Structure 1
Amino acid sequence: MKSPIPDYLLEVVEACGTDNPGATADYIPELAQADPDRIAVCLSTIDGVVYTAGDADAEFSIQSISKPFVYALALADHGIDAVLARVGVEPSGEAFNELSLESGSGRPLNPMINAGALTAHALVGPATATTEERFERVLRGLSAFAGRDLAVDESVFDSELSTAYRNSAIANMLRSYSVIDGDPAEVVRGYTRQCAITVTVRDLAVMAATLANGGVQPLTGQRVVSRTVVRQVLSVMMTCGMYDAAGDWMSTVGIPAKSGVSGGVLGALPGQVGIGAFSPRLDAHGSSVRGVRMCRRLSDDMGLHIMDGPEPARSAIRRDRRLRGPGGHTVRVCSLQGTMQFSGAELVLRALASAEDAERLDGVVLDLRRVHSVDDVAERMLREALRRLRLDGLRVTVVDPECVLDTHAHTHRPARDGEIADEFAPDLASFDNFERV
Structure 2
Amino acid sequence: MLEQITNTAKTYTMRGKPASYIPVLALQSVDQFAACIIDQSGNCFEAGNIEAQFTLQSISKVINFIVACEYHGLQFVLDKVDVEPTGDAFNSIIRLESTAPGKPFNPMINAGAITVASMLPGETVKDRIAYVADFLYRITGHLHQVNEEVYRSEIETTHRNRAIAHYLKANDYLLCDVEESVETYIRLCSLEVSAKDLAKIGLMLAGNGVHPSTNEKFITPKTAKVTKALMTTCGLYNASGKYAASIGIPMKSGVSGGVLCTVADGKVEYLKGKLGIGVFSPGIDDIGNSVAGMKFIEKLSQTYDLSIF
Same fold (TM over 0.5): yes
CA apart distance, 1:270: 2.0
Match of 2:110 among 114, 117, 121: 114
CA apart distance, 1:40: 1.1
Matched, 1:175 2:169: yes
8 Å Cα contact 2:118/2:180 also seen in 1: no
Matched, 1:124 2:120: yes
- Return the letter of the residue paired with 1:9: L
Runs of at least 5 residues in structure 1 that lack an aligned partner in the other structure: 1-7, 308-437
Question: What's 2:288 paired with?
Answer: 286
- Return the letter of the residue paired with 2:206: A
Mapping for residues 159-198 of structure 1, pairs under 5 Å: 159-198=153-192
Post-superposition Cα deviations, 1:3-33, rounded to whole Å, max 9, x if no partner, equal xxxxx43322211122421211011111001
Question: What's 2:219 paired with?
Answer: 225
TM-score (norm 2): 0.92
Mapping for residues 23-172 of structure 1, pairs under 5 Å: 23-99=17-93, 100-101=95-96, 103-125=99-121, 129-172=123-166
Post-superposition Cα deviations, 1:300-322, rounded to whole Å, max 9, x if no partner, equal 11110112xxxxxxxxxxxxxxx
8 Å Cα contact 1:145/1:207 also seen in 2: yes
8 Å Cα contact 2:232/2:251 also seen in 1: yes
Alignment partners' CA distance in 1, 2:85 and 2:124? 31
Name the SS for the 1:41 alignment partner. Answer: strand
Percentage of identical aligned residues: 38
Alignment partners' CA distance in 2, 1:220 and 1:163? 42
Post-superposition Cα deviations, 1:167-188, rounded to whole Å, max 9, x if no partner, equal 1111111101100032111111
CA apart distance, 1:295: 0.4
Runs of at least 5 residues in structure 2 that lack an aligned partner in the other structure: 266-273
Question: What's 1:256 paired with?
Answer: 250
Post-superposition Cα deviations, 1:264-303, rounded to whole Å, max 9, x if no partner, equal 1111112421111111111111000111100001101111
Question: What's 1:17 paired with?
Answer: 10
Larger relative contact order (Cα-Cα within 8 Å, sequence gap ≥ 6) = 2
8 Å Cα contact 1:110/1:116 also seen in 2: yes
Question: What's 1:295 paired with?
Answer: 297
Mapping for residues 351-370 of structure 1, pairs under 5 Å: none
8 Å Cα contact 1:9/1:41 also seen in 2: no
Residues 139-148 or 70-79, more deviating: 139-148
The structure that is helix-richer by fraction is 2
CA apart distance, 1:219: 6.3
Alignment partners' CA distance in 1, 2:191 and 2:202? 16
Alignment partners' CA distance in 1, 2:70 and 2:228? 14
Alignment partners' CA distance in 2, 1:245 and 1:14? 24
Question: What's 1:273 paired with?
Answer: 275
Residues 16-25 or 290-299, more deviating: 16-25
Residues 220 and 188 (structure 1), Cα distance of their counterparts in 2 relative to 1, 3 Å cut: farther
